Amino acid sequence: MTKITKTSLPGVGVKHEFVTDDGRRVGVVHHRTGKRELFVCEASDPDAATLNLSLSDEDSHALSDALGGSEIVENLTHLRQQVEGLAIDWLHVEEGTPYVGRSIGDTRTRTRTGVSVVAVIRDDLPFPAPEPDFEVQAGDTLVVVGTPEGIAKVEDLLSGG
Amino acid sequence: MNEVASLLVELGAVILGLGLVARLAARLSMSPIPLFLIAGLILGEGGILPIVTSEEFIEVGAEIGVIFLLLMLGLEYSADELVDGMKSVAFSGIVDLLSNFIPGFVAGLLLGWTVVPALFLGGVTYISSSGVIAKMLGDMGWTGNRETPIVLSLLVFEDLVMALFLPILGVLALGGTAIGAVLAALIALTAVVVSIAFAHRQGDRMGTFIFHTSDEVSLLTIFGLTLLVAGIAERIGVSAAVGAFLVGISVSGLSAERARVLLAPLRDLFAAVFFLFFGLSTDPGKIPDVLFVAVALGFLTAATKVWVGRWSARRAGIGARGQQRAGLLLIPRGEFSIIIAGLGASVAGGQQLPALAAAYVLLMAIAGPLAVRAQASRASKRAPDAAKEPVTDTFGR
Protein backbone atom coordinates (compact mmCIF):
# COMPACT_ATOMS: atom_id res chain seq x y z
CA MET A 1 0.00 0.00 0.00
CA THR A 2 1.17 3.54 -0.69
CA LYS A 3 2.65 5.10 2.38
CA ILE A 4 1.05 8.33 3.56
CA THR A 5 3.36 10.66 5.45
CA LYS A 6 1.99 13.09 7.98
CA THR A 7 3.79 16.38 8.59
CA SER A 8 2.78 18.98 11.10
CA LEU A 9 2.62 22.55 9.81
CA PRO A 10 2.88 24.68 12.94
CA GLY A 11 0.21 27.34 12.99
CA VAL A 12 -1.43 26.04 9.82
CA GLY A 13 -2.52 22.47 10.29
CA VAL A 14 -1.47 19.02 9.19
CA LYS A 15 -0.24 17.75 5.84
CA HIS A 16 -0.81 14.21 4.58
CA GLU A 17 1.05 13.28 1.45
CA PHE A 18 2.29 10.40 -0.62
CA VAL A 19 4.25 9.82 -3.79
CA THR A 20 2.49 8.30 -6.77
CA ASP A 21 3.93 5.47 -8.84
CA ASP A 22 5.22 7.91 -11.44
CA GLY A 23 7.02 9.92 -8.77
CA ARG A 24 4.73 12.86 -8.19
CA ARG A 25 3.92 14.12 -4.74
CA VAL A 26 0.21 14.39 -3.96
CA GLY A 27 -1.27 15.46 -0.67
CA VAL A 28 -3.87 17.21 1.37
CA VAL A 29 -3.31 20.06 3.80
CA HIS A 30 -5.86 20.07 6.59
CA HIS A 31 -6.05 23.65 7.75
CA ARG A 32 -7.06 24.08 11.34
CA THR A 33 -9.86 26.30 10.13
CA GLY A 34 -11.41 23.17 8.61
CA LYS A 35 -10.40 24.05 5.06
CA ARG A 36 -8.87 21.23 3.06
CA GLU A 37 -6.43 21.83 0.27
CA LEU A 38 -5.49 19.22 -2.29
CA PHE A 39 -2.13 19.71 -3.93
CA VAL A 40 -0.15 18.00 -6.64
CA CYS A 41 3.52 18.58 -7.36
CA GLU A 42 5.16 18.69 -10.72
CA ALA A 43 7.88 16.30 -11.62
CA SER A 44 10.18 19.18 -12.64
CA ASP A 45 10.13 20.80 -9.17
CA PRO A 46 9.16 18.10 -6.69
CA ASP A 47 9.21 20.55 -3.77
CA ALA A 48 6.53 22.88 -5.08
CA ALA A 49 2.81 22.38 -5.22
CA THR A 50 1.63 23.43 -8.66
CA LEU A 51 -2.00 22.47 -8.43
CA ASN A 52 -3.92 23.69 -5.41
CA LEU A 53 -7.54 22.98 -4.86
CA SER A 54 -9.55 24.11 -1.85
CA LEU A 55 -12.18 21.60 -0.88
CA SER A 56 -15.20 21.99 1.38
CA ASP A 57 -16.42 19.04 3.45
CA GLU A 58 -18.88 18.10 0.75
CA ASP A 59 -16.31 18.48 -2.02
CA SER A 60 -13.95 16.14 -0.18
CA HIS A 61 -16.66 13.54 0.21
CA ALA A 62 -17.61 13.85 -3.44
CA LEU A 63 -13.99 13.49 -4.51
CA SER A 64 -13.28 10.51 -2.32
CA ASP A 65 -16.52 8.87 -3.49
CA ALA A 66 -15.45 9.50 -7.06
CA LEU A 67 -12.14 7.85 -6.27
CA GLY A 68 -14.01 4.98 -4.69
CA GLY A 69 -12.54 5.08 -1.23
CA SER A 70 -14.03 5.81 2.14
CA GLU A 71 -11.29 4.66 4.46
CA ILE A 72 -9.32 7.90 4.35
CA VAL A 73 -12.39 10.01 4.93
CA GLU A 74 -13.16 7.91 7.97
CA ASN A 75 -9.66 8.31 9.31
CA LEU A 76 -9.56 12.03 8.69
CA THR A 77 -13.00 12.60 10.16
CA HIS A 78 -11.73 10.63 13.09
CA LEU A 79 -8.81 13.04 13.46
CA ARG A 80 -11.03 16.08 13.29
CA GLN A 81 -13.68 14.95 15.65
CA GLN A 82 -11.83 14.64 18.88
CA VAL A 83 -14.11 17.28 20.35
CA GLU A 84 -12.97 18.16 23.87
CA GLY A 85 -12.88 14.64 25.21
CA LEU A 86 -15.56 13.40 22.85
CA ALA A 87 -14.45 10.77 20.38
CA ILE A 88 -16.16 9.24 17.41
CA ASP A 89 -15.02 5.93 16.03
CA TRP A 90 -15.93 3.37 13.45
CA LEU A 91 -15.75 -0.17 14.79
CA HIS A 92 -15.97 -3.24 12.60
CA VAL A 93 -17.87 -6.26 13.83
CA GLU A 94 -15.92 -9.36 12.88
CA GLU A 95 -17.41 -12.80 12.26
CA GLY A 96 -17.58 -14.89 15.41
CA THR A 97 -17.30 -12.06 17.94
CA PRO A 98 -19.70 -11.56 20.86
CA TYR A 99 -21.84 -8.81 19.31
CA VAL A 100 -22.88 -10.80 16.25
CA GLY A 101 -26.57 -11.70 16.30
CA ARG A 102 -27.39 -9.62 19.36
CA SER A 103 -29.51 -6.49 19.49
CA ILE A 104 -27.82 -3.22 20.40
CA GLY A 105 -29.91 -3.02 23.59
CA ASP A 106 -28.89 -6.54 24.48
CA THR A 107 -25.15 -5.76 24.25
CA ARG A 108 -25.64 -3.16 27.02
CA THR A 109 -22.82 -1.13 25.42
CA ARG A 110 -24.05 2.17 26.79
CA THR A 111 -24.59 0.88 30.32
CA ARG A 112 -21.20 -0.76 30.46
CA THR A 113 -19.02 1.87 28.75
CA GLY A 114 -21.07 5.07 28.41
CA VAL A 115 -20.56 4.82 24.64
CA SER A 116 -23.54 5.21 22.30
CA VAL A 117 -23.95 3.49 18.98
CA VAL A 118 -25.17 6.39 16.81
CA ALA A 119 -25.26 4.56 13.49
CA VAL A 120 -24.60 1.24 11.87
CA ILE A 121 -23.12 0.91 8.42
CA ARG A 122 -24.09 -2.29 6.61
CA ASP A 123 -23.05 -3.00 3.04
CA ASP A 124 -22.16 0.70 2.62
CA LEU A 125 -25.67 1.69 3.67
CA PRO A 126 -25.96 3.81 6.79
CA PHE A 127 -28.59 3.09 9.44
CA PRO A 128 -28.56 6.25 11.55
CA ALA A 129 -29.81 6.23 15.15
CA PRO A 130 -30.56 2.48 15.39
CA GLU A 131 -33.25 1.37 17.86
CA PRO A 132 -32.18 -0.80 20.83
CA ASP A 133 -33.69 -3.84 19.07
CA PHE A 134 -31.50 -3.34 15.96
CA GLU A 135 -29.64 -6.60 15.45
CA VAL A 136 -25.90 -6.43 14.81
CA GLN A 137 -24.51 -8.68 12.08
CA ALA A 138 -21.01 -9.76 11.21
CA GLY A 139 -19.43 -7.27 8.79
CA ASP A 140 -21.34 -4.30 10.22
CA THR A 141 -19.53 -1.12 11.13
CA LEU A 142 -20.70 0.55 14.32
CA VAL A 143 -20.33 4.32 14.51
CA VAL A 144 -19.85 5.02 18.19
CA VAL A 145 -19.59 8.21 20.22
CA GLY A 146 -18.18 8.51 23.70
CA THR A 147 -14.97 9.11 25.59
CA PRO A 148 -11.76 7.67 24.08
CA GLU A 149 -11.50 5.37 27.14
CA GLY A 150 -15.09 4.19 26.68
CA ILE A 151 -14.46 3.45 23.02
CA ALA A 152 -11.38 1.47 23.91
CA LYS A 153 -13.59 -0.62 26.23
CA VAL A 154 -16.10 -1.19 23.44
CA GLU A 155 -13.28 -2.38 21.21
CA ASP A 156 -12.34 -4.88 23.93
CA LEU A 157 -15.95 -6.02 24.22
CA LEU A 158 -16.25 -6.35 20.45
CA SER A 159 -13.21 -8.55 20.21
CA GLY A 160 -14.52 -10.69 23.03
CA GLY A 161 -12.29 -9.29 25.77
CA MET B 1 -18.92 69.68 20.89
CA ASN B 2 -18.69 68.10 24.31
CA GLU B 3 -15.91 65.75 25.29
CA VAL B 4 -17.74 62.47 24.66
CA ALA B 5 -19.04 63.61 21.30
CA SER B 6 -15.65 64.69 20.03
CA LEU B 7 -14.04 61.50 21.36
CA LEU B 8 -16.57 59.35 19.53
CA VAL B 9 -16.30 61.32 16.32
CA GLU B 10 -12.51 61.24 16.34
CA LEU B 11 -12.33 57.55 17.24
CA GLY B 12 -14.97 56.68 14.68
CA ALA B 13 -13.11 58.56 11.98
CA VAL B 14 -9.82 56.87 12.93
CA ILE B 15 -11.24 53.34 12.98
CA LEU B 16 -13.20 53.93 9.80
CA GLY B 17 -9.96 55.18 8.26
CA LEU B 18 -8.21 51.97 9.35
CA GLY B 19 -11.05 50.04 7.76
CA LEU B 20 -10.50 51.82 4.46
CA VAL B 21 -6.76 51.24 4.71
CA ALA B 22 -7.33 47.52 5.36
CA ARG B 23 -9.66 47.44 2.37
CA LEU B 24 -6.95 48.95 0.20
CA ALA B 25 -4.47 46.38 1.51
CA ALA B 26 -6.85 43.56 0.64
CA ARG B 27 -7.26 45.04 -2.84
CA LEU B 28 -3.50 45.13 -3.31
CA SER B 29 -3.28 41.68 -1.74
CA MET B 30 -0.73 42.88 0.79
CA SER B 31 -0.44 42.91 4.56
CA PRO B 32 -2.22 45.92 6.08
CA ILE B 33 0.48 46.36 8.74
CA PRO B 34 2.69 48.77 6.73
CA LEU B 35 -0.38 50.78 5.73
CA PHE B 36 -1.53 51.07 9.36
CA LEU B 37 1.94 52.35 10.23
CA ILE B 38 1.81 54.92 7.45
CA ALA B 39 -1.65 56.02 8.63
CA GLY B 40 -0.22 56.52 12.11
CA LEU B 41 2.75 58.48 10.82
CA ILE B 42 0.44 60.76 8.84
CA LEU B 43 -1.97 61.35 11.72
CA GLY B 44 0.54 61.60 14.54
CA GLU B 45 2.71 64.18 16.18
CA GLY B 46 4.61 66.09 13.57
CA GLY B 47 2.28 64.64 10.98
CA ILE B 48 -0.40 66.50 9.10
CA LEU B 49 -3.51 65.61 11.09
CA PRO B 50 -2.67 65.18 14.79
CA ILE B 51 -5.12 63.27 16.99
CA VAL B 52 -6.00 64.97 20.28
CA THR B 53 -8.93 63.67 22.30
CA SER B 54 -8.76 59.96 21.63
CA GLU B 55 -5.04 59.57 22.21
CA GLU B 56 -5.50 58.10 25.69
CA PHE B 57 -7.94 55.51 24.43
CA ILE B 58 -5.66 54.61 21.54
CA GLU B 59 -2.73 54.24 23.90
CA VAL B 60 -4.60 51.75 26.11
CA GLY B 61 -5.94 50.05 23.00
CA ALA B 62 -2.38 49.65 21.73
CA GLU B 63 -1.33 47.96 25.00
CA ILE B 64 -4.23 45.55 24.64
CA GLY B 65 -3.24 45.05 21.00
CA VAL B 66 0.19 43.76 22.02
CA ILE B 67 -1.42 41.44 24.55
CA PHE B 68 -3.80 40.08 21.91
CA LEU B 69 -1.00 39.57 19.38
CA LEU B 70 0.97 37.50 21.87
CA LEU B 71 -2.05 35.62 23.19
CA MET B 72 -2.98 34.63 19.66
CA LEU B 73 0.61 33.69 18.93
CA GLY B 74 0.52 31.34 21.91
CA LEU B 75 -2.80 29.90 20.76
CA GLU B 76 -1.41 29.46 17.27
CA TYR B 77 0.91 26.66 18.30
CA SER B 78 0.13 23.58 20.30
CA ALA B 79 2.66 22.45 22.88
CA ASP B 80 3.54 19.48 20.69
CA GLU B 81 4.20 21.74 17.71
CA LEU B 82 6.44 23.93 19.85
CA VAL B 83 8.45 20.98 21.10
CA ASP B 84 8.72 19.38 17.65
CA GLY B 85 9.49 22.71 16.03
CA MET B 86 12.28 23.43 18.48
CA LYS B 87 13.82 20.01 17.98
CA SER B 88 13.61 19.93 14.21
CA VAL B 89 15.23 23.30 13.57
CA ALA B 90 17.31 23.91 16.69
CA PHE B 91 20.55 24.34 14.76
CA SER B 92 19.09 26.36 11.88
CA GLY B 93 17.20 28.41 14.45
CA ILE B 94 20.40 29.41 16.19
CA VAL B 95 22.07 30.25 12.87
CA ASP B 96 19.01 32.36 12.04
CA LEU B 97 19.27 34.15 15.39
CA LEU B 98 22.96 34.94 15.02
CA SER B 99 22.88 36.00 11.38
CA ASN B 100 19.91 38.31 11.76
CA PHE B 101 20.30 39.65 15.27
CA ILE B 102 23.93 40.69 14.89
CA PRO B 103 23.44 43.04 11.89
CA GLY B 104 20.84 45.09 13.78
CA PHE B 105 22.87 45.11 16.96
CA VAL B 106 26.05 46.18 15.20
CA ALA B 107 24.18 48.81 13.19
CA GLY B 108 22.89 50.26 16.47
CA LEU B 109 26.42 50.46 17.86
CA LEU B 110 27.72 52.00 14.62
CA LEU B 111 25.03 54.67 14.91
CA GLY B 112 26.63 55.58 18.20
CA TRP B 113 23.85 54.14 20.33
CA THR B 114 24.49 52.52 23.68
CA VAL B 115 24.28 48.74 24.07
CA VAL B 116 20.67 48.60 25.29
CA PRO B 117 18.95 50.30 22.34
CA ALA B 118 21.29 48.40 20.00
CA LEU B 119 19.97 45.14 21.51
CA PHE B 120 16.46 46.30 20.68
CA LEU B 121 17.46 46.96 17.08
CA GLY B 122 18.94 43.47 16.92
CA GLY B 123 15.54 42.13 17.96
CA VAL B 124 13.83 44.24 15.31
CA THR B 125 15.98 42.81 12.51
CA TYR B 126 15.87 39.24 13.85
CA ILE B 127 12.20 38.33 13.90
CA SER B 128 10.41 37.58 10.64
CA SER B 129 6.74 38.36 10.52
CA SER B 130 4.80 35.13 10.94
CA GLY B 131 1.62 37.04 10.04
CA VAL B 132 2.91 38.31 6.70
CA ILE B 133 4.57 34.98 5.90
CA ALA B 134 1.47 32.91 6.69
CA LYS B 135 -0.49 35.17 4.38
CA MET B 136 2.12 34.79 1.63
CA LEU B 137 2.00 30.99 1.93
CA GLY B 138 -1.76 31.05 1.46
CA ASP B 139 -1.67 33.58 -1.38
CA MET B 140 1.01 31.76 -3.31
CA GLY B 141 -0.49 28.31 -2.78
CA TRP B 142 2.71 27.07 -1.18
CA THR B 143 1.21 25.47 1.92
CA GLY B 144 1.82 21.98 0.55
CA ASN B 145 5.41 22.66 -0.49
CA ARG B 146 8.19 20.62 0.99
CA GLU B 147 10.13 23.64 2.25
CA THR B 148 7.09 25.06 4.05
CA PRO B 149 7.40 23.00 7.26
CA ILE B 150 11.00 24.25 7.57
CA VAL B 151 9.95 27.87 7.22
CA LEU B 152 7.13 27.43 9.72
CA SER B 153 9.39 25.69 12.22
CA LEU B 154 11.91 28.52 11.98
CA LEU B 155 9.09 30.95 12.76
CA VAL B 156 8.12 28.88 15.80
CA PHE B 157 11.71 29.00 16.96
CA GLU B 158 11.88 32.76 16.52
CA ASP B 159 8.67 33.26 18.43
CA LEU B 160 9.95 31.20 21.34
CA VAL B 161 13.22 33.10 21.36
CA MET B 162 11.20 36.29 21.47
CA ALA B 163 9.29 35.03 24.53
CA LEU B 164 12.65 34.86 26.34
CA PHE B 165 14.04 38.00 24.75
CA LEU B 166 11.12 40.29 25.63
CA PRO B 167 11.58 40.04 29.41
CA ILE B 168 15.30 40.76 29.03
CA LEU B 169 14.47 43.83 26.98
CA GLY B 170 11.67 44.73 29.37
CA VAL B 171 14.04 44.91 32.33
CA LEU B 172 16.69 46.77 30.34
CA ALA B 173 14.07 49.22 29.09
CA LEU B 174 13.20 50.11 32.67
CA GLY B 175 16.86 50.80 33.35
CA GLY B 176 17.40 47.50 35.19
CA THR B 177 20.78 45.83 35.55
CA ALA B 178 22.12 42.97 33.48
CA ILE B 179 21.60 40.65 36.46
CA GLY B 180 17.98 41.76 36.72
CA ALA B 181 17.55 41.09 33.02
CA VAL B 182 19.01 37.61 33.27
CA LEU B 183 16.80 36.93 36.28
CA ALA B 184 13.70 38.05 34.36
CA ALA B 185 14.70 35.86 31.42
CA LEU B 186 15.14 32.89 33.76
CA ILE B 187 11.71 33.48 35.27
CA ALA B 188 10.23 33.71 31.78
CA LEU B 189 12.12 30.60 30.63
CA THR B 190 10.85 28.65 33.62
CA ALA B 191 7.31 29.87 33.08
CA VAL B 192 7.40 29.03 29.37
CA VAL B 193 8.85 25.57 29.97
CA VAL B 194 6.36 24.86 32.77
CA SER B 195 3.44 26.02 30.62
CA ILE B 196 4.54 23.95 27.65
CA ALA B 197 5.17 20.89 29.80
CA PHE B 198 1.78 21.38 31.47
CA ALA B 199 -0.03 21.62 28.17
CA HIS B 200 2.05 18.75 26.77
CA ARG B 201 1.27 16.39 29.66
CA GLN B 202 -2.14 17.44 30.84
CA GLY B 203 -3.68 18.16 27.48
CA ASP B 204 -6.48 20.58 27.67
CA ARG B 205 -7.07 21.25 31.38
CA MET B 206 -6.84 24.98 30.87
CA GLY B 207 -9.28 24.90 27.98
CA THR B 208 -11.80 22.88 29.95
CA PHE B 209 -11.57 25.43 32.73
CA ILE B 210 -11.99 28.43 30.45
CA PHE B 211 -14.54 27.19 27.98
CA HIS B 212 -18.23 27.09 28.46
CA THR B 213 -21.07 26.43 26.07
CA SER B 214 -21.76 30.15 26.10
CA ASP B 215 -19.36 32.18 23.96
CA GLU B 216 -19.94 35.13 26.23
CA VAL B 217 -18.68 33.27 29.29
CA SER B 218 -15.68 31.89 27.38
CA LEU B 219 -14.72 35.26 25.93
CA LEU B 220 -14.94 37.13 29.21
CA THR B 221 -13.06 34.39 31.05
CA ILE B 222 -10.15 34.13 28.63
CA PHE B 223 -9.87 37.88 28.11
CA GLY B 224 -9.99 38.61 31.84
CA LEU B 225 -7.54 35.85 32.66
CA THR B 226 -5.11 37.03 29.99
CA LEU B 227 -5.17 40.64 31.15
CA LEU B 228 -4.70 39.48 34.75
CA VAL B 229 -1.73 37.23 33.96
CA ALA B 230 -0.25 39.89 31.67
CA GLY B 231 -0.57 42.47 34.45
CA ILE B 232 1.08 40.20 37.00
CA ALA B 233 3.86 39.35 34.54
CA GLU B 234 4.43 43.06 33.93
CA ARG B 235 4.45 43.69 37.68
CA ILE B 236 7.18 41.09 38.33
CA GLY B 237 9.16 42.46 35.39
CA VAL B 238 8.65 39.64 32.88
CA SER B 239 6.62 41.88 30.51
CA ALA B 240 2.89 41.73 29.88
CA ALA B 241 3.43 40.31 26.40
CA VAL B 242 5.09 37.20 27.81
CA GLY B 243 2.26 36.71 30.30
CA ALA B 244 -0.24 36.77 27.45
CA PHE B 245 1.90 34.34 25.42
CA LEU B 246 1.92 31.94 28.38
CA VAL B 247 -1.87 31.96 28.62
CA GLY B 248 -1.95 31.27 24.89
CA ILE B 249 0.31 28.24 25.00
CA SER B 250 -1.42 26.74 28.04
CA VAL B 251 -4.65 26.47 26.07
CA SER B 252 -4.38 23.77 23.44
CA GLY B 253 -6.29 21.52 21.11
CA LEU B 254 -9.86 22.31 20.27
CA SER B 255 -10.17 24.95 22.96
CA ALA B 256 -7.35 26.83 21.26
CA GLU B 257 -9.26 26.54 18.00
CA ARG B 258 -12.38 27.97 19.61
CA ALA B 259 -10.40 30.71 21.32
CA ARG B 260 -8.85 31.73 17.99
CA VAL B 261 -12.25 32.03 16.36
CA LEU B 262 -13.60 33.95 19.32
CA LEU B 263 -10.67 36.32 19.69
CA ALA B 264 -9.64 36.92 16.08
CA PRO B 265 -11.96 39.93 15.56
CA LEU B 266 -10.77 41.55 18.79
CA ARG B 267 -7.15 40.89 17.83
CA ASP B 268 -7.70 42.46 14.43
CA LEU B 269 -9.20 45.58 16.01
CA PHE B 270 -6.66 46.08 18.78
CA ALA B 271 -3.65 45.07 16.68
CA ALA B 272 -4.66 47.69 14.10
CA VAL B 273 -4.86 50.22 16.93
CA PHE B 274 -1.42 49.13 18.11
CA PHE B 275 0.22 49.59 14.68
CA LEU B 276 -1.55 52.92 14.33
CA PHE B 277 -0.36 53.98 17.77
CA PHE B 278 3.23 53.09 16.95
CA GLY B 279 2.97 55.25 13.84
CA LEU B 280 1.30 58.02 15.84
CA SER B 281 4.02 58.14 18.45
CA THR B 282 6.80 58.05 15.88
CA ASP B 283 7.87 61.44 14.59
CA PRO B 284 7.92 61.16 10.79
CA GLY B 285 10.33 64.13 10.75
CA LYS B 286 13.03 61.82 12.08
CA ILE B 287 12.66 59.26 9.31
CA PRO B 288 14.75 61.05 6.63
CA ASP B 289 17.76 61.02 9.02
CA VAL B 290 17.59 57.25 9.41
CA LEU B 291 16.30 56.34 5.97
CA PHE B 292 19.70 55.46 4.57
CA VAL B 293 20.48 53.21 7.55
CA ALA B 294 17.07 51.57 7.27
CA VAL B 295 17.58 50.81 3.58
CA ALA B 296 21.12 49.52 4.06
CA LEU B 297 20.06 47.40 7.01
CA GLY B 298 17.11 46.20 4.96
CA PHE B 299 19.29 44.97 2.12
CA LEU B 300 21.75 43.34 4.50
CA THR B 301 19.16 41.54 6.61
CA ALA B 302 17.13 40.53 3.56
CA ALA B 303 20.30 38.85 2.30
CA THR B 304 20.98 37.15 5.64
CA LYS B 305 17.40 35.85 5.86
CA VAL B 306 17.54 34.55 2.29
CA TRP B 307 20.80 32.84 3.12
CA VAL B 308 19.40 31.24 6.29
CA GLY B 309 16.29 30.06 4.47
CA ARG B 310 18.26 28.59 1.59
CA TRP B 311 20.75 26.94 3.87
CA SER B 312 18.09 25.39 6.13
CA ALA B 313 16.17 24.14 3.11
CA ARG B 314 19.32 22.70 1.53
CA ARG B 315 20.10 20.83 4.76
CA ALA B 316 16.66 19.25 4.51
CA GLY B 317 17.35 18.11 0.95
CA ILE B 318 15.12 20.66 -0.79
CA GLY B 319 15.92 21.54 -4.43
CA ALA B 320 17.28 24.87 -5.67
CA ARG B 321 13.95 26.52 -6.35
CA GLY B 322 12.52 25.42 -3.02
CA GLN B 323 15.60 26.82 -1.28
CA GLN B 324 15.04 30.14 -3.00
CA ARG B 325 11.39 30.20 -1.96
CA ALA B 326 12.26 29.43 1.67
CA GLY B 327 14.82 32.23 1.70
CA LEU B 328 12.60 34.88 0.16
CA LEU B 329 9.66 33.96 2.37
CA LEU B 330 11.62 34.80 5.51
CA ILE B 331 12.40 38.40 4.47
CA PRO B 332 9.30 40.22 5.79
CA ARG B 333 9.49 41.74 9.25
CA GLY B 334 6.34 43.02 10.84
CA GLU B 335 4.28 42.87 14.00
CA PHE B 336 6.94 41.57 16.38
CA SER B 337 9.62 43.96 15.21
CA ILE B 338 7.15 46.74 15.97
CA ILE B 339 6.39 45.31 19.42
CA ILE B 340 10.10 45.26 20.23
CA ALA B 341 10.64 48.76 18.90
CA GLY B 342 7.61 49.97 20.86
CA LEU B 343 9.08 48.55 24.04
CA GLY B 344 12.40 50.23 23.29
CA ALA B 345 10.95 53.63 22.39
CA SER B 346 11.42 54.95 25.91
CA VAL B 347 14.94 53.58 26.38
CA ALA B 348 17.72 56.09 27.04
CA GLY B 349 19.70 56.60 23.85
CA GLY B 350 16.98 55.00 21.73
CA GLN B 351 15.41 58.19 20.37
CA GLN B 352 16.07 57.14 16.80
CA LEU B 353 14.80 53.60 17.33
CA PRO B 354 11.07 54.08 16.56
CA ALA B 355 11.72 56.04 13.36
CA LEU B 356 14.36 53.57 12.20
CA ALA B 357 12.18 50.57 13.06
CA ALA B 358 9.15 52.11 11.35
CA ALA B 359 11.10 52.78 8.14
CA TYR B 360 12.73 49.35 8.30
CA VAL B 361 9.49 47.44 8.86
CA LEU B 362 7.70 49.42 6.15
CA LEU B 363 10.45 48.48 3.77
CA MET B 364 10.64 44.80 4.69
CA ALA B 365 6.90 44.19 4.97
CA ILE B 366 6.44 45.59 1.47
CA ALA B 367 9.64 44.44 -0.25
CA GLY B 368 9.57 40.86 1.10
CA PRO B 369 6.25 39.87 -0.48
CA LEU B 370 7.23 41.70 -3.69
CA ALA B 371 10.43 39.67 -3.91
CA VAL B 372 8.46 36.48 -3.41
CA ARG B 373 5.98 37.42 -6.13
CA ALA B 374 8.75 38.42 -8.52
CA GLN B 375 10.47 35.08 -8.10
CA ALA B 376 7.19 33.21 -8.48
CA SER B 377 6.31 35.01 -11.68
CA ARG B 378 9.77 34.28 -13.10
CA ALA B 379 9.34 30.63 -12.21
CA SER B 380 5.81 30.56 -13.62
CA LYS B 381 6.98 31.65 -17.07
CA ARG B 382 7.68 27.98 -17.44
CA ALA B 383 4.80 26.64 -15.38
CA PRO B 384 1.22 27.87 -15.06
CA ASP B 385 0.61 30.30 -12.20
CA ALA B 386 -0.20 28.89 -8.80
CA ALA B 387 -3.80 29.30 -7.75
CA LYS B 388 -4.32 32.55 -6.00
CA GLU B 389 -6.72 32.89 -3.17
CA PRO B 390 -7.73 36.07 -1.41
CA VAL B 391 -7.05 36.00 2.30
CA THR B 392 -8.99 38.58 4.17
CA ASP B 393 -7.64 38.96 7.68
CA THR B 394 -4.49 40.68 8.83
CA PHE B 395 -2.70 37.52 9.76
CA GLY B 396 -3.75 35.41 6.86
CA ARG B 397 -4.79 32.43 8.89
Q: Which of A10, A33, A52 sits opposite B152 (nearest CB)?
A: A10
pLDDT for the residue numbered B47:
61
The C-alpha of B205 sits at a distance from chain A's nearest C-alpha, in angstroms, of: 10
Q: Is the pLDDT of residue B387 over 90?
A: no
Q: Is the pLDDT of residue B393 over 60?
A: no
pLDDT for the residue numbered B13:
87
Q: How large is the average pLDDT for residues A136-151?
A: 86
Q: Which of B144, B147, B211 sits opposite A29 (nearest CB)?
A: B144
Q: Answer whether B194's CB lies under 8 Å from B247's CB.
A: no
Q: How large is the average pLDDT for residues B368-394?
A: 67
Give the confidence band of B252 by pLDDT, cuts at 50, 70, 90. Answer: confident
pLDDT for the residue numbered B111:
92
Query: What are the two backbone dihedrals, phi and then psi, of residue A128, each rounded to the nearest 5 degrees?
Result: -70, 155
Give the least confident one: B210-214, B278-282, B349-353: B210-214
Give the least confident one: A97-111, B40-54, B378-392: B378-392
Type of residue at B368: G
Q: How large is the average pLDDT for residues B93-97?
A: 94
A25 touching B (Cβ < 8 Å):
yes
Question: Which of residues B75 and A81 earns the better pLDDT score?
Answer: B75
Residues of A in contact with B387 (CB under 8 A): 51-53
For residue B130, what is the nearest residue in chain A, using CA coordinates? Answer: A11
pLDDT for the residue numbered B16:
93
The C-alpha of B67 sits at a distance from chain A's nearest C-alpha, in angstroms, of: 18
The C-alpha of B78 sits at a distance from chain A's nearest C-alpha, in angstroms, of: 8
Percentage of chain B lying above the pLDDT 90 cut: 40
Q: Which of A29, A48, A85 sits opposite B321 (nearest CB)?
A: A48
State how far the alpha carbon of A71 is from the alpha carbons of A13, A67, A74, A79, in Å: 21, 11, 5, 13
Q: How large is the average pLDDT for residues A51-72?
A: 75
- Edge-to-edge, what's the strand order for the sheet holding A125-128? A87-92, A141-146, A116-122, A125-128
The C-alpha of A79 sits at a distance from chain B's nearest C-alpha, in angstroms, of: 12
DSSP state of A135: B
Q: Which of B84, B142, B383 sits opposite A42 (nearest CB)?
A: B383
B318 touching A (Cβ < 8 Å):
yes
Does the beta-carbon distance from B253 to A25 stay under 8 Å? no
Residues of B in contact with A32 (CB under 8 A): 257, 260
Q: Rounded to two decimals, what is the model's pTM?
A: 0.76
For residue B135, what is the nearest residue in chain A, using CA coordinates? Answer: A12
Report how far residue B105's alpha carbon sits from residue B212's, in angstroms, rounded to the nearest whole number.
46
Q: Which helix (H) or strand (E) holds A100?
A: none
Percentage of chain B lying above the pLDDT 70 cut: 91
ipTM associated with this complex: 0.72
Q: How large is the average pLDDT for residues B273-286?
A: 89
Q: Which helix (H) or strand (E) holds A23?
A: none
Please, what sign has the CA dihedral across residues A117, A122, A124, A125? negative
